[in-house]
């Protein structure tokens, strides 16, 4: 079985990641979740071909600047209440894949305060950019 981390399409890619972007978000379907924001942790892996992410002059313009990932996350959260974590990770994956250099993306969302006896509940999605038709 091929997993995302062993997929041959990623062999010549650099992985850029943001681990556990912590923020308060209005997310959830239950009444108590709609009453206010709750803690959320979002992690992202971007896969960028080495040809598009190997600097030759040590300049940020030669690579994918991960500030845009953090900005995309914050803008999506600021747009308002989200019912499902699945919706959130799908929206973020779609936006991040729109970057011309990004080949694939993995996005996860975790809510750490849902159950007292569970560290976190969450979802994850992995997507490749669709080939141009």
Question: How do residues 106-130 score in pLDDT, each as one tens digit?
Answer: 999 999 998 899 999 999 999 999 8
- The model's confidence at residue 100, banded by pLDDT at 50, 70 and 90, is very high
Say if residue 43's pLDDT is above 70.
Answer: yes
- Architecture in CATH of 12-128: 2-Layer Sandwich (3.30)
Say if residue 20's pLDDT is above 70.
Answer: yes
> How far does Cα 19 stand from its chain's mean position?
9
Query: How far apart, in whole angstroms, are the C-alpha atoms of residue 123 and residue 111?
Result: 9
Say if residue 39's pLDDT is above 60.
Answer: yes
Q: How many CA atoms lie within 13 A of 15 on its CB side?
A: 16
Mean pLDDT over 93-105 rounds to 96
Spatial contact of 41 and 100, defined as CB atoms under 8 Å apart: no
Query: How far apart, in whole angstroms, are the C-alpha atoms of residue 113 and residue 87?
Result: 19
pTM, full prediction: 0.90
Domain parsing of the chain, residue ranges: 12-128
């Amino acid at each position: 079985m091929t997993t995302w981390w062993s997929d041959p399409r990623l062999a010549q890619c650099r992985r850029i990641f943001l681990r556990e972007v912590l923020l308060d978000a209005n997310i959830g379907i239950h009444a108590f979740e709609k009453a206010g924001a709750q803690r959320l942790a979002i992690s992202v892996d971007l896969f960028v071909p080495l040809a598009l992410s190997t600097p030759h002059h040590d300049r940020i313009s030669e690579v994918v600047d991960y500030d845009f990932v953090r900005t995309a996350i914050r803008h999506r959260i600021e747009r308002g209440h989200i019912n499902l974590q699945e919706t959130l990770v799908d929206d973020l994956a779609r936006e991040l894949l729109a970057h011309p250099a990004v080949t694939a993306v993995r996005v996860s969302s975790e809510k750490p305060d849902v159950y007292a006896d569970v560290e976190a509940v969450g979802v994850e999605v992995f997507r490749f950019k669709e080939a141009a038709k």
